[in-house]
Amino acid sequence: MKGGRIDSVKVRYPYSTMIPAVAAVAMTTVWLRSSGNSAASWLPMIPAGFVAWTLLEYLLHRFALHGIEPFRRWHLEHHRDPAKPLQTPVLFSLMLVGAFVSLPFALPDAHAPALFAVGLCIGQVSQEIVHHRLHRTDSPSNRWLAARWREHGYHHEVDGNAAYGTCTGFWDRVFGTSPRQDRHIS
């Protein structure tokens, strides 16, 4: 670590997706090798984990990346130059994925939490892919992606205290941080 800074080791997209992707594959492999697994009863935990990720992503972006050091400082670098290739501190990814992976081991029945953790990891990978795309394209032709692009642009260009969701605007609507219609960018 250069200068003793904990954020000195960073990974650029797409390599930043490797930690959560490997964790998702590892957790799925462990789950598949466990006895007593019924796919029909446990597989819904993956989409549940993905939905939970969208809430977690909103909360992390709003409260950690915009309010808690050193995360705030790291994130402000991105706000200062959004066109610069995205870089994720390895420590941040390891801490996040470490929390996901340890979840099943903290609970007595590890089957559901293991697949829930897989959904969280898939959510993290999806968020990184979408976020990268939002900064690397003009207004997309896909309706969903175009809506995400507009709201993320609003967050960067109009009001950094609104539009925290990357994969969805649902939590912004729930928590009252949706972009104001009168100041929306086109």
What is the mean pLDDT of each successive set of 10 residues along the chain, which is 186 residues long?
A: 54 79 83 67 86 95 92 87 76 77 69 82 91 85 93 94 96 94 55
Site of tokens 């390599």: 15
Q: What is the predicted pLDDT for the residue at 4?
A: 47
Structure tokens at 103: 């979840």
What pLDDT score was predicted for residue 61? Answer: 94
Predicted pLDDT at 185 = 54
- DSSP alpha helix (H) spans, the chain: 18-33, 39-42, 45-59, 71-80, 90-106, 111-135, 143-157, 170-175
Is 157 within 8 Å of 80 (Cβ atoms)?
no
Tell me how far the alpha carbon of residue 17 is from its chain's centroid: 10
Tell me what pLDDT residue 36 has.
62
Q: What is the DSSP string of 133-186?
A: HHHSSSS-SSHHHHHHHHHHHHHHHT-TTS---SS-SHHHHHHT-SPPGGG---
C-beta separation of 151 from 179 below 8 A: yes
Burial annotation 41-50 (CB, 10 A radius, 16+ → b, else e): ebeebbeebb
Q: SS3 of 126, please? A: helix
Res 180: pLDDT = 80
pTM: 0.82
The strand pairing partners of 12, in sequence order, are: 87
pLDDT at 43: 79
Say what the pLDDT of residue 38 is. Answer: 65
